[in-house]
Amino acid sequence: MDHFLSLHDVDADALTRLLDLADQLKRAPRTFARALEGKSLAMIFLKASTRTRVSFEVGMWQLGGTALFLSSRDVQLHRGEPVSDTAKVLSRYVDGIMARVFAHQDVLDLARFGTVPVINGLTDLLHPCQALADLQTIRERFGRLRGLKLAYIGDGNNMAHSLMFACAKAGMDFACAAPEGYTMDRQLVADARQDAARAGTQILETSDPLEAAEGAHVVYTDVWASMGQEEEAEARRKAFVGFEVDDRVMARAAGDGVFMHCLPAHRGEEVSAAVCDGERSIIFDQAENRLHAQKAVLVTLLGDPG
């Protein structure tokens, strides 16, 4: 890999290697304590974050490297300097760039014009780091990925897109239940269906949460109004009536099915408190695995060959 921008760009073998490395990093972190010694990572945050900032910053430190936090006040992106100039300048200073931004084109341009690896920490279109950590969490829980089913219920957003790609690459069936007007991007669905056809898996789109959850090993949801959509919050709450993941939905899942959420969670909206804090919830396992999965990406992209 030259960059980590989308799981659609990662082949199945490379994905397995990333997950295996993430498991090694989790089991024996001190073995990799000098893996990125002397290396630096610029972290661009146009969107605020808890998990992304802490996991990348701690991850670089645990690998012997340095992370530099750059907020919207610290960089000139969209404030008079083109992304191409920012990419070229940062490439002269650091060994890698992680960007958490709004427009997906920004990470594409950072990768296009820079000369160092670029990691997509989140865009409005995709969130591959979270989906990678989710695969690690699911594999830990079930001992495998192939043959499982993940049901995503809610907004067809960046999380839905990345989970769809993740499942297709990992040999998992994927179902998405979203209300009309909030379905997934059509081009990304077409791309994922090609991945799924090669893996022999299925992608289902429906407007019925119960249909999506039927037999699912993982039931997954996200907030109904993401960052930058605050003005749409009330309209979205009305549109998503009936899409709360509650005991009724979980009853349709497999007997050993689990609940996942990328957090932050709004109990009483996209998920009931009983499910979010219940015995089937593994939300904090997946939050922890952001650290290990992202360290695997960092070692793969920034580590010395061999």
Q: For residue 151, what is the domain's CATH number?
A: 3.40.50.1370
Q: Is 31 among the domain residues?
A: yes
Residue 159 has pLDDT above 80, yes or no: yes
Place of tokens 């495998």: 144
Tell me the pLDDT band of 78, cut-offs 50, 70 and 90.
Answer: confident
d(CA 77, CA 86): 7
Residues belonging to the active site:
100, 127, 130, 222, 262, 290
Q: What is the largest CA-CA distance in the chain?
A: 55
- Residue 175 counted as domain residue: yes
Query: Does residue 1 form part of some domain?
Result: no
What pLDDT was estimated at residue 228? 75
What is the pLDDT, as a whole number, of residue 226? 80
- Evaluate if residue 44 carries a pLDDT over 60: yes
Residue 205 domain-assigned? yes
Rounded-to-integer distance, Cα 50 and Cα 53, Å: 6
Same domain, 297 and 248: no
**Rounded to the nearest 5°, which phi and psi values hold at 55?**
-65, -40
pLDDT of residue 197: 97
Q: Which two tokens stand for residue 157?
A: 């957003």
Residue with tokens 């949801």: 221
Rounded average pLDDT over 122-138? 98
Residues 239 and 294 in one domain: no
Average the pLDDT over 88-113 and give the result.
98
Q: Are residues 95 and 15 in the same domain?
A: yes
204 in the same domain as 150? yes
Are both 77 and 145 inside the same structural domain? no
Q: Quick one: how far is CA 204 from the chain centroid?
A: 20
Contact 100, 46 (CB under 8 A): yes
Query: Residue 2 domain-assigned?
Result: no
216 in the same domain as 243: yes
Residues 51 and 134 in one domain: no
In the prediction, which pLDDT does 306 show?
A: 57
In a domain, 156, yes or no: yes
Q: Say yes or no: 107 and 176 in one domain.
A: no
The percentage of the chain sitting over the pLDDT mark of 70, rounded to a whole number, equals: 100
**240 has a pLDDT exceeding 70:** yes
Pair (138, 164) in one structural domain = yes
Indicate whether 294 and 229 sit together in one domain.
no
What is the domain extent for residue 187? 130-283
pLDDT > 90 in the chain, percent: 93
Between helix 283-302 and helix 12-27 the angle, nearest 10°, is 110
- Clarify whether residues 171 and 236 are in a common domain: yes
Q: Tokens in use for 125? A: 């279109």
- Does one domain contain both 240 and 154? yes
* Number of domains the chain contains: 2
Dist. CA 288–CA 76, nearest whole Å: 32
